[in-house]
Structure 1
Amino acid sequence: MTYSVAVSGASGYAGGEILRILAAHPDIEIRTVTAHASAGRPLVAHQPHLRSLAHLTLQPTTPEILAGHDIVFLALPHGQSGQYTDALDEVGLVIDAGADHRLTSAADWDAFYGGPFHEPWVYGVPELVTATGKQRDNLVGAHRIAAPGCNASTVSLSLAPGVAAGVIDPTDLVSVLAVGPSGAGKSLKPHLLAAEVLGSANPYAVGGVHRHIPEVKQALRAAGAAEVHLSFTPVIVPMARGILATSSARIADGATDTDVRAAWERAYADEPFVQLLPEGAYPRTADVLGANTALMGLHIDRDANRVTVVTAVDNLVKGTAGAAVQSMNIALGLDQTRALTVNGVAP
Structure 2
Amino acid sequence: MAIRVAVVGASGYAGSEALRLLLSHPEVEVGAMTAGSSAGTPLGLLHPHLVPLADRVLQPTSPEVLAGHDAILLWLPHGRSAAVAEAVGEDVLVIDCGADFRLRDAASWEKFYGSDHIGTWPYGLPELPGRRDVLKGSKRVAIPGCYPTAVSLALFPAYAAALAEPEAVVVAASGTSGAGKAPKPHLLGSETMGSMTPYGVGGIHRHTPEMVQNLSIVAGEPVTVSFTPTLAPMPRGILAVCSARAKPGVTPESVRAAYAAAFATELFVHLLPEGQWPATACALGSNTALVQVTLDEDAGRIIAVSAIDNLTKGNAGNAVQSMNIALGLPEELGLPRIGVAP
Q: 1:310 — aligned with what? A: 305
**1:200-211 pair list within 5 angstroms:** 200-211=195-206
Asked if 1:168 corresponds to 2:161, the answer is: no
Residue pair 1:147, 1:323 contacting (<8 A) in 2 also: yes
**Out of 143, 146, 155, which is 1:147 matched to?**
143
1:173-197 CA distance string (max 9 Å, x none) = 1110011010111111221111211
C-alpha separation in 2, matches of 1:199 and 1:128: 36
C-alpha separation in 2, matches of 1:194 and 1:82: 36
Query: CA RMSD of the aligned region, Å?
Result: 1.2
C-alpha separation in 2, matches of 1:28 and 1:7: 12
Deviates most, 110-119 or 209-218: 110-119
Q: Which amino acid aligns with 2:124?
A: G
Residue pair 2:255, 2:293 contacting (<8 A) in 1 also: no
CA deviation after TM superposition for structure 1 residue 86, in Å: 2.1
Residue pair 1:22, 1:339 contacting (<8 A) in 2 also: yes
Q: Which amino acid aligns with 1:261?
A: R
Partner SS for 2:209 = helix
Q: Which amino acid aligns with 1:278?
A: P
Asked if 1:45 corresponds to 2:45, the answer is: yes
Asked if 1:186 corresponds to 2:181, the answer is: yes
Query: Where does the alignment leave 5 or more consecutive residues of structure 2 unmatched?
Result: none
1:144-167 CA distance string (max 9 Å, x none) = 111110001110111111111100
C-alpha separation in 1, matches of 2:77 and 2:253: 43
Q: Which amino acid aligns with 2:264?
A: A
Asked if 1:62 corresponds to 2:62, the answer is: yes
1:119-170 CA distance string (max 9 Å, x none) = 21111100013xxxx3122111111111110001110111111111100112
C-alpha separation in 1, matches of 2:63 and 2:194: 43
Query: Where does the alignment leave 5 or more consecutive residues of structure 1 unmatched?
Result: none
Partner SS for 2:6 = strand
Residue pair 1:150, 1:320 contacting (<8 A) in 2 also: yes
CA deviation after TM superposition for structure 1 residue 88, in Å: 2.1
Q: 2:281 — aligned with what? A: 286
Q: Which amino acid aligns with 1:59?
A: Q
Residue pair 1:67, 1:90 contacting (<8 A) in 2 also: no
Q: Which amino acid aligns with 1:147?
A: I
Partner SS for 1:87 = helix
Q: 2:328 — aligned with what? A: 333
Asked if 1:19 corresponds to 2:14, the answer is: no
C-alpha separation in 1, matches of 2:90 and 2:160: 37
Q: 1:212 — aligned with what? A: 207
Q: 1:266 — aligned with what? A: 261
1:220-254 CA distance string (max 9 Å, x none) = 12213311111100100100000000001110122
Residue pair 1:71, 1:91 contacting (<8 A) in 2 also: no
Residue pair 1:72, 1:91 contacting (<8 A) in 2 also: no
C-alpha separation in 2, matches of 1:143 and 1:246: 34
C-alpha separation in 2, matches of 1:255 and 1:182: 38
C-alpha separation in 1, matches of 2:200 and 2:135: 31
C-alpha separation in 1, matches of 2:241 and 2:51: 37
**TM-score, with structure 1 as normaliser:** 0.96
C-alpha separation in 2, matches of 1:54 and 1:39: 14
Q: 1:238 — aligned with what? A: 233
Residue pair 1:124, 1:323 contacting (<8 A) in 2 also: yes
Q: 2:152 — aligned with what? A: 156
CA deviation after TM superposition for structure 1 residue 90, in Å: 4.3
Deviates most, 46-55 or 322-331: 46-55
C-alpha separation in 1, matches of 2:85 and 2:205: 25
Residue pair 1:34, 1:60 contacting (<8 A) in 2 also: yes
Q: 1:138 — aligned with what? A: 134
Q: Give the 3 Å change call, closer, same or farther, for CA 91–194 of structure 1 in structure 2.
A: farther
Q: Which amino acid aligns with 1:142?
A: S
Q: Which amino acid aligns with 1:57?
A: V
Asked if 1:86 corresponds to 2:82, the answer is: no
Q: Give the 3 Å change call, closer, same or farther, for CA 91–192 of structure 1 in structure 2.
A: farther
Task: Tell me how many residue pairs correspond in the alignment.
Answer: 342
Residue pair 1:106, 1:117 contacting (<8 A) in 2 also: yes
Q: Which amino acid aligns with 1:37?
A: S
Residue pair 1:280, 1:298 contacting (<8 A) in 2 also: no
Residue pair 1:10, 1:35 contacting (<8 A) in 2 also: yes
CA deviation after TM superposition for structure 1 residue 2, in Å: 0.9
Q: Give the 3 Å change call, closer, same or farther, for CA 59–116 of structure 1 in structure 2.
A: farther
Residue pair 2:252, 2:294 contacting (<8 A) in 1 also: no
